[in-house]
Amino acid sequence: MLEHVPAWLGKLLKDVRAGHSQLAIVREDMGERLFPLSSPAFADGQRLPIRFTADGEGISPPLSWGPLPAGTMSLALLVEDPDAPAPHPLVHALVWNIPPDVSGLTEGAILPDGDGAADGSDVGRNSYLAEGWLPPDPPKGHGAHDYVFQLFALSKIPPLEANPGRSAFLEAIHGKILAAGFLIGTYSRDEPAASSTAGAGLRPAGA
């Protein structure tokens, strides 16, 4: 959708960004412990391969994580773009109630699932009010965008209705976070690829 925004408008809005300070993982209630989160498809802070974006196949990237802290009963994933020219980060994926014995997601795994998957997990709503992976689609001329994958290890399964949005998700996981993992992929249009340096400042409060 945003590929149709003219480059002159993208450049005009280049300094209009939601901001990394609004990411879920930097909120004060997000806990202090970290665990590894990575992808076999791209390194932390590096450019996302085109097949995971709106310029390619638009499928979700593979993820791997662990070890998890003792007492983890559930996992929840939130992917946000804090560089979107909007008041709040754009949600690209939301998945909750991932079983604790799962150690990753395969390529293309974040798909619409109605009221939930067979394993009990559920894919919530992205910022376009649809289920599934919202492929990165930054405006031309707006510069590089960070896509921040935030995975939360929870002490309880959060009480959520099917297909939750960001606000309901954050409210439901409040007070249940044992630890978090994060991974940044970048993407831009019509500009040289650039590595993200934002990760150094993305730590749960107090970490």
Beta-carbon contacts of residue 132 (< 8 Å; ≥ 6 apart): 60, 93, 110, 111, 112, 123, 126
Query: CA-CA distance, 160 to 140, in Å (whole number)?
Result: 37
- What stretch of H or E contains 173? helix 166-173
Confidence tier at 115 by pLDDT (50, 70, 90): confident
Question: Residue 85 has what pLDDT?
Answer: 86
The pTM (predicted TM-score) of the whole model is 0.87
pLDDT mean over 49-73: 97
Residue 5 has pLDDT above 50, yes or no: no
pLDDT confidence of residue 102: 95
Q: Within 10 Å of residue 131's Cβ, how many Cβ atoms?
A: 21
In whole angstroms, what is the distance from residue 58 CA to residue 76 CA?
21
pLDDT of residue 192: 63
Mean pLDDT of 106-133: 90
Q: Which domains, ranges and CATH numbers included, belong to the chain? A: 2-201 (3.90.280.10)
pLDDT of amino acid 118: 75
Confidence of residue 1 (pLDDT cuts 50, 70, 90): low
Name the one residue in this structure whose structure tokens are 């749960």: 204
Q: What is the pLDDT of residue 163?
A: 83
Tell me the mean pLDDT in the region 130-144.
92
User: What is the spatial distance between Cα 14 and Cα 11, in angstroms, rounded to a whole number?
Assistant: 5
Listed in sequence order, the residues at least 6 apart from 159 whose beta carbon sits closer than 8 Å to its beta carbon are 172
Per DSSP, the three-state class of 77 is: strand
- Confidence at residue 189, expressed as pLDDT on a 0 to 100 scale: 87
Comparing 121 with 67, the larger pLDDT belongs to 67
- Asked if residue 104 has pLDDT above 70, the reply is yes
94 DSSP β-pair partners: 78
pLDDT digits (tens, 9 = 90+) for 149-206: 999 999 999 988 888 899 999 999 999 999 999 999 999 987 666 667 666 555 554 4
Q: Which residue has the higher pLDDT, 4 or 18?
A: 18
**What digits encode the pLDDT tens for the residues 7-59?**
433 454 455 588 899 999 987 666 668 999 999 999 999 999 999 999 999 99
